Structure 1
Amino acid sequence: MTDSSNVTAIHERLDGRLVLPGEAGYDEARSVWNAMVDRRPRMVVRCASVGDVVAAVRTARELDLELGVRCGGHSIVGLAVPEEGLMVDLRPMGGVRVDPVRRRAWVQGGALLGALDREVQRYGLATTAGNVSHTGVGGLTLGGGMGWLARQYGLTCDNVVSFTMVTADGDVVRASRTENPELFWGLRGGGGNFGIVTEFEFRLHPVGTRALVAEYTFPLDRALPALRAWRDLNARAPRQATFTASVGGDGLVRAGFVWVGDPGQGRLLLPEMRALGRPVSERVAEPSYLELQRVDDSVQGHTSRRYWKGHYLGGFPDAAIEAFLRRGVAAGDAGLPSVSLQAYGGAIADVPDQDAAFSHRNTLFEYVCAARWSEPAEDRTRMGAARRAAAELEPYATGAYVNVLSDEGAEGVRRAYPPGKLARLTVLKNAFDPHNVFHLNHNIRPGRA
Structure 2
Amino acid sequence: MGTAPAAQLDEAAFLELERSFSGRLVRPGDAAYDEARRIWNGSISKYPALLAYCTGVADVAAALESAKRTGLPVAVRSGGHSFPGQSLCEDGIVIDLSAMNGIRVDPENHTVRAQAGVLLGALDRETQHFGAAVPAGIVTHTGLAGLTLGGGIGWLMRKYGLTVDQLLSADVVTADGTFVTASARHEPELFWGLRGAGGNFGVVTEFEFRLNPVGPMVLAGPILWPLEEAPQVLRFYRDWITDVPDELTTIVVHRKAPPLPAIPPQLHGRPVIAVISCYAGDIEAGQRVLRPLREFGTPLLDLCAPKPYLQHQSMFDPSFRPGWWYYVRSCDIERLDDEVIDISAAHALRITSPLSTCNIFHLGGAVARVGEDETACSGRDVAHTLNINGNCVDAEGFDQARAWARAWWSALEPYHAGVYVNFLMDEGADRVQQAYGDDKLRRLRALKKEYDPGNVFRSNQNIAPAA
Tell me the TM-score normalised to structure 2 length: 0.92
SS in 2 for 1:147: coil
CA distance in 1, matches of 2:377, 2:91: 32
What residue number does 1:81 align with?
A: 88
Gaps of 5+ in 2: 1-7, 257-269
2:297 is the alignment partner of 1:269: no
Q: CA deviation at 1:322?
A: 0.9
SS in 1 for 2:200: coil
2:259 is the alignment partner of 1:252: no
CA distance in 2, matches of 1:363, 1:316: 11
2:282 is the alignment partner of 1:283: no
2:341 is the alignment partner of 1:299: no
What residue number does 1:94 align with?
A: 101
SS in 2 for 1:213: strand
Structure 1 residue ranges, 4+ long, deviating more than 4 angstroms after superposition: none
2:369 is the alignment partner of 1:376: no
CA distance in 1, matches of 2:315, 2:158: 19
Alpha carbons 2:329, 2:423 under 8 Å: kept:
yes
What residue number does 2:408 align with?
A: 389
CA distance in 2, matches of 1:370, 1:272: 29
User: Which of 163, 182, 187 is the equivalent residue of 2:189?
Assistant: 182
What residue number does 1:400 align with?
A: 419
CA distance in 2, matches of 1:46, 1:325: 45
CA distance in 1, matches of 2:394, 2:209: 41
Alpha carbons 1:110, 1:136 under 8 Å: kept:
yes
What residue number does 1:230 align with?
A: 237
Q: CA deviation at 1:333?
A: 6.5
What residue number does 1:18 align with?
A: 25
Alpha carbons 2:169, 2:208 under 8 Å: kept:
yes
Farther off after superposition, 215-224 or 331-340: 331-340
Alpha carbons 2:391, 2:402 under 8 Å: kept:
no
CA distance in 1, matches of 2:215, 2:99: 29
SS in 2 for 1:248: strand
CA distance in 2, matches of 1:200, 1:152: 21
Alpha carbons 2:112, 2:211 under 8 Å: kept:
yes
CA distance in 1, matches of 2:412, 2:57: 43
Tell me the TM-score normalised to structure 1 length: 0.96
Q: Kindly tell me: are residues 239 and 7 of structure 1, through their superposed partners in 2, closer, same or farther at Cα, counting changes over 3 Å?
A: same
What residue number does 1:167 align with?
A: 174
CA distance in 1, matches of 2:350, 2:166: 44
Residue deviations 1:76-101 (CA, integer Å, cap 9, x gap): 11111111110001000011111001
What residue number does 1:355 align with?
A: 374
Residue deviations 1:246-274 (CA, integer Å, cap 9, x gap): 11034211124221233222111232113
Alpha carbons 2:76, 2:94 under 8 Å: kept:
yes
Alpha carbons 1:210, 1:262 under 8 Å: kept:
no
CA distance in 1, matches of 2:128, 2:109: 15
CA distance in 2, matches of 1:159, 1:172: 22
What residue number does 1:334 align with?
A: 352
Amino acid at match of 1:305: W
Alpha carbons 1:243, 1:343 under 8 Å: kept:
yes
Q: CA deviation at 1:7?
A: 1.8
Q: CA deviation at 1:332?
A: 5.4
Q: CA deviation at 1:214?
A: 4.1
Alpha carbons 2:352, 2:401 under 8 Å: kept:
no
2:328 is the alignment partner of 1:308: yes
SS in 2 for 1:287: strand
Identical positions, percent: 39
CA distance in 2, matches of 1:405, 1:117: 25
Alpha carbons 2:390, 2:398 under 8 Å: kept:
no
SS in 1 for 2:51: strand
SS in 2 for 1:413: helix
Q: CA deviation at 1:23?
A: 2.0
CA distance in 1, matches of 2:290, 2:144: 33
Residue deviations 1:178-205 (CA, integer Å, cap 9, x gap): 1010000000001300000001010001
Farther off after superposition, 405-414 or 376-385: 376-385
Q: CA deviation at 1:401?
A: 0.3
Q: CA deviation at 1:335?
A: 4.1
CA distance in 1, matches of 2:325, 2:123: 27
Q: CA deviation at 1:235?
A: 1.2
Q: Kindly tell me: are residues 66 and 322 of structure 1, through their superposed partners in 2, closer, same or farther at Cα, counting changes over 3 Å?
A: same
CA distance in 2, matches of 1:248, 1:28: 31
Q: Kindly tell me: are residues 49 and 318 of structure 1, through their superposed partners in 2, closer, same or farther at Cα, counting changes over 3 Å?
A: same
Q: Kindly tell me: are residues 334 and 292 of structure 1, through their superposed partners in 2, closer, same or farther at Cα, counting changes over 3 Å?
A: closer
Alpha carbons 1:10, 1:18 under 8 Å: kept:
no
Residue deviations 1:202-261 (CA, integer Å, cap 9, x gap): 000111311112432222332212211111111111111112211103421112422123
SS in 1 for 2:322: coil
What residue number does 1:220 align with?
A: 227
2:446 is the alignment partner of 1:424: no
Q: Kindly tell me: are residues 333 and 292 of structure 1, through their superposed partners in 2, closer, same or farther at Cα, counting changes over 3 Å?
A: closer
Count of residues in Structure 1 that have an aligned counterpart in Structure 2: 446
Residue deviations 1:357-415 (CA, integer Å, cap 9, x gap): 01110111111100111342533222111100111222222100000001211121011
